[in-house]
A and B are shown apart, each in its own frame.
Chain A
Amino acid sequence: MTQAAKQVRSFRLNGRAHDVLVADNVLLLDTLREALGLTGTKRGCDGGECGACTVLIDGTPRLACLTRTQECDGHSVETIEGLAENGRMSRLQRAFHERLGTQCGYCTPGMVMTAEGLLRRNPDPTEAEIRAALAGNICRCTGYVKIIEAVEDAARGAP
């Protein structure tokens, strides 16, 4: 790495207070994956194009590959690891599973976090709203139809 000076940055991560010692030029994606071992957040394009690294910052979907850890100081960060409760998948995660919204699974954490951000803001989205929300999440397996159905199911309360 580089010799940039490190500082303690404090943020809430999946609901719990965290302090990390990082230099200003370290990306949130690297802090999550390398320093904290939370490898659910995926490194896809690594350049803002694919959405695989999407996490929620203060409840809004953001790209961890373009966000510095330093920027998260004082904010709340949520990753895919924070959705399950007591070992049970969330309704949205279950919907992806039931509806076959995931194939190779690489885009899935980003898709789920983007959809989670949407459903918190808009619990009953139209198909067009789901498509617009997921516009920045690229999937090379599913063809998207099953992903959209999964989000619709989660919104409707099924399965």
Chain B
Amino acid sequence: MELLPPFHVATPATIAAAVAARQRQATGRFIAGGTDLMVNLRHGLGDPAALIDLRGIPELQHVTAGPDGLVIGAAVTLAELAEHPAVTSRYPAIAAAATAVGAPAHRAAGTVGGNLCLDTRCIFYNRSAWWREANGFCLKYKGDTCHVAPTGKRCHAAFSGDLAPALLVHAAEIDIAGPDGVRRQPLAALYAEDGAAHVRLAAGEFLVRVVVPADPWPAAYAKARARGAIDFPLAGVAVALRRRGSDVDGLRVALTGTNARPFLLEGTDGLLGTPVSPAWLDRLGRLVQKQVSPMRTTLLAAQYRRRVAAALAQRLAATLGGADAVGHAA
């Protein structure tokens, strides 16, 4: 692999210092565990003059659980998150999603902020510099054609972070720091359906923390991947389902690995007020198949990812919806 570009690393100890460090460096990049960015930099994907390591900032370092919900610092590692007692006991979908990331060494280094701001992935992008150069690069970086959809004008690389869907189904919000201070917004609003610009952060802005409301609905996360031991999701699905009696009274479904952004499924309101049944699961499956848009960005066929996304959603909803429905899931 290539040598790393000649960056220097800043290690700010405050939010303000991190913002200032980024503003001083037009080509600077924030970094945390580096398990995504270091790999990409070694592939010649980016040439920052400075890396600004966010892990030394106290506001980013802790998980706390209280009456206002769960607050997760952006520099908390996935290993810390997955093992936190409040997370394992009350937010099992978040613990499962964190545990589903890579292998233990990735989770020991990789952080929540890095996972939520993960670069998108594509078989034409996650390649060495010489491979990409021989292929004329591509629209996402240094080139002008998308090899996946050559007639299109945008990049379809897939967002493949595991954590985002599990946070989305809990209606998580994020605090973003920037030159104008800290603002709060829904996590869902962080993302755009563009593989070359999927994270909506202005220069100098970074994630400080994630806030997950208290009293979470029962929820679960599952992913399909090529190798069970360690792999990015080909499709990942989180479902949160609240029941009143046997009826579904609240439903949120979120997906990753199928689109340029993780997203909340629309139209789930139409599935409320009835119990989970085989017909209900069919409708859920159709809703998923309609809204995901996997492209040929992975070695496995896009159609497989579409169908497995629906099947995972059905399986999780069947389990959360009550024992009756289990066994009918696709």
Contact = CB atoms under 8 A, between A and B. Distances in A.
Given A47-B39, A66-B38, A136 B5 contact: no
21 contacts: A4-B6, A23-B6, A24-B51, A25-B6, A47-B39, A49-B230, A61-B108, A62-B109, A63-B35, A63-B105, A63-B106, A63-B109, A66-B38, A68-B38, A70-B9, A71-B34, A114-B105, A131-B229, A136-B102, A136-B229, A136-B230
A66 B4 CA distance: 11
Contacts of B109: 62-63, 66-67
A48 B103 CA distance: 10
A149 interface: no
Contacts of B39: 47-48, 66
Given A24-B9, A61-B105, A47 B1 contact: yes
Interface in A1-43: 1-5, 23-27
Interface in A39-63: 46-49, 51, 54, 60-63
B8 interface: yes
B304 interface: no
B7 interface: yes
A51 B103 contact: yes
B154 interface: no
A119 interface: no
Contacts of B230: 49, 135-136
Contact of A2 (B5, B9, B43): B5
Contacts of A83: none
Contacts of A72: none
B42 interface: yes
A133 B104 contact: yes
A3 B6 contact: yes
Interface in B59-118: 102-106, 108-109
A128 B34 CA distance: 28
Nearest to B107: A136
A51 B109 CA distance: 14
Interface residues of A, number: 32
B4 A25 contact: yes
Contact of B105 (A2, A46, A54, A131): A54
B258 to A, nearest CB: 23
B104 A132 contact: yes
A4 B230 CA distance: 34
A48 B108 CA distance: 13
Nearest to A131: B229
Contacts of B299: none
A2 B6 contact: yes
Contacts of B103: 51, 135-137
B3 interface: yes
Contacts of A133: 104
Contacts of A114: 104-105
A139 to B, nearest CB: 11
A62 B108 contact: yes
Interface string B36-64: 00110011000000010100000000000
Nearest to A137: B103
Nearest to B41: A25
A114 B51 CA distance: 28
A60 B106 CA distance: 11
B5 to A, nearest CB: 7
Q: Max chain B CB contacts within 10 Å: which of A48, A136, A137? A: A48
